[in-house]
Amino acid sequence: MAFLGIEQSLTGRRWVGPGVEVERSSEMMAQQTDLPRAVCQVLARRGVPVMEARGFLEPKLKELLPDPRSMKDMEVAAARLLEAVRKRDRIAVFADYDVDGGSSAALLLVWLRQMGLAATLYVPDRIDEGYGPNVPAMQDLAARHDLIICVDCGTLSHEPIAAAKGADVIVLDHHLGGETLPDCIAVVNPNRQDESGDLGYLCAAAVVFLMLVEAGRQLRIAGANGPDLMAMLDLVALATVADVAPLVEANRALVRQGLKVMAQRQRPGLVALSDVARMDTAPNSYHLGFLLGPRVNAGGRIGQADLGARLLSTDSASEAEALSERLDALNSERREIENAVRAAAMAQAEERGLDAPLVWAAADGWHPGVVGIVASRLKETANRPAIVIGFDGDEGKGSGRSVSGVDLGASIQRLASEGLLTKGGGHKMAAGLTVMRDQLEPAMARLSDLLAKQGAGQSGPADLKLDGTLMPAAATVDLIEQIEKAGPFGAGAPAPRYALPDLQVRFAKRVGETHLKLSLSDGMSGGLDAIAFGAFDGPLGDRLLNHGGARFHFAGRLEVNSWGGRQSVQLRLEDVAEAN
């Protein structure tokens, strides 16, 4: 049964409320803990037992951080790193070109610098070299270095790592492993096939951090101290959110603590980037995912691949300022390219149909640096795994994004093993692939079948999931702060979304080209401000601007709006339905 009876909202979506079990659990929790019902609804949805509710709201890193030695090769990797420090080895860090790769590289570069070593950074060009280690680069680095550390890549790079003659290689990664591992000193990866998978939710930066934790343990045994690792958690938090790693278990504590570190504004690169992104409040997971992450990524997408890692690792404020301005400009350029590809991909996907287990689009000339973002947009629109591919001649390079509960990386890897893809890999929520033009249709058909078996396509593309109802008077700054304690919110832990039923539009004003600012009222004491971004890109803008005194049900996420030193509650409006 649809929530509030809304089978079709103004945007065509069906509203779905919490299940009976979640409702019962949240009610019991509210009675036994005295926590607000809205907070209990979030905890119940997350499956938090009543007796663990208060502890969940105050996650402690020391209690949630896994033992690094529970991962294979971890002690060996840390010991080789410390040996390199003692021997003053020449070290190279080979990193992926995204935020996770850049943050992982920065963790190592900063740690090594504090230990008195300057390491070489190498980030491959997305277009010229593609993802991960390649033979020429590894041969060149091996000729000039004693140790090469591959971060956020390398698990499937057998040939390039074998080509690194004369140098030791360590891989610190989280992408799905194959049946065999490359021949090197250590492959630390929670998604190796011989791992339990218990830590498979970690991003690469978290794996690097755990390796540095183990290095710190080995240093202490030897009677020495290493750098302050807690001060580096801002980098781990940024990578975790930007790489869409699920905000569960240790990730949740890493991001919570990392946000506190970031708020202290000690890292020049993140300070400069926050300023250029015009962040004027304490950082949260939204800022990491939508303001900072895209800018760090912009270099790897359409500019110079190493800009992000250089920004995150620099200790120079002037260099940070110059790099952040360059990345901001590249991000604006990226948006223009993305918009053109997105419009074409969306039209193609809609023509093919958005209700299949897989939504996909492919065309000549689409920039490989934006296909991942466009895939993410398709996924959000259809609530289906999505693939977007750009062809250069007969070879297409694509990127995919998945939905919760559907392992895209494993399916992509299977297609590669079956010969339908030239190569492919990734993790549960994101993957990359290379496909030849004559294999495109059979590859997508096979991938659709594999994803369907995992349940892709079973939930309606128009479903809007809601956590419950709230009246305007109950939506206070204090309530939002309590709800935030159940966060941080993001992948695997979506921010709560509430319905505010039977309200009138007291005031409506168009803001910019497509946004709508609103003031809502229940006709009694309760009022609430709301903002509907992109309202005039769809049906909401005109209907609410010309409301004619009608009453509506509103749905969205609550946030604290800070302006002029004053805090107020604002509804980030996502959907509206007529109140009959």
Decide which of 544 and 380 is more confident.
544
Which two structure tokens, joined as six digits, stand for 97?
């070109």
CA distance 138 to 126: 16
Would residue 148 be called left, alpha or beta, if left means φ above 0 and alpha means ψ between -120 and 50 degrees? beta
Mean pLDDT of the chain: 94
* DSSP class per residue in 396-461: EEEEEE--TT--HHHHHHHHHHTTSSSEEEE-SSEEEEEEEGGGHHHHHHHHHHHHHHTTTT-S-T
Per-residue pLDDT at 462 exceeds 80: no
Q: Which long-range contacts (CB under 8 A, 24 or more apart) does 210-213 make?
A: 210/65, 210/66, 210/68, 210/71, 210/74, 211/68, 211/74, 211/77, 211/78, 211/81, 211/172, 212/78, 212/107, 212/108, 212/111, 213/65, 213/68
The total of other beta-carbon atoms located within 10 Å of residue 87's CB is 10
Q: Helix count (H) and strand count (E) of the chain?
A: 21, 18
CA 251 to chain centroid, in Å, comes to 12
Work out the average pLDDT over 186-191: 97
Percent of the chain with pLDDT over 90: 84
Q: Are strands 430-436 and 423-426 parallel, antiparallel or unpaired?
A: antiparallel
The total of other beta-carbon atoms located within 10 Å of residue 194's CB is 9
pLDDT at residue number 80 = 98
pLDDT band at residue 461 using 50, 70 and 90 as cut-offs: low
Which H or E run contains 170?
Answer: strand 168-172
Peptide linkage before 461 cis (omega within 30 of 0): no
pLDDT band at residue 251 using 50, 70 and 90 as cut-offs: very high
CA distance 545 to 538: 13
The pLDDT tens digits for 514-567 are 999 999 998 886 689 999 998 998 899 999 999 999 999 999 999 988 777 788
Q: DSSP character for 69?
A: G
Work out the average pLDDT over 308-315: 98
Which two structure tokens, joined as six digits, stand for 573?
């409006």
Per-residue pLDDT at 376 exceeds 70: yes
Taking CA atoms, 213 is separated from 39, 73, 77, 375, 381, in Å, by 34, 14, 12, 35, 40
The pLDDT tens digits for 169-184 are 999 999 999 999 999 9
CA distance 51 to 237: 28
The pLDDT tens digits for 87-133 are 999 999 999 999 999 999 999 999 999 999 999 999 999 888 988 99
pLDDT at residue number 526 = 66
pLDDT band at residue 379 using 50, 70 and 90 as cut-offs: very high
In sequence order, what E strands does 191-235 have?
A: none
SS (H, E, C) 480-521: HHHHHCCCCCECCECCCCEEEEEEEEEEEEEECCCEEEEEEE
Work out the average pLDDT over 237-254: 94
- Locate tokens 């901001």: which residue? 328
3-state secondary structure of 309: helix
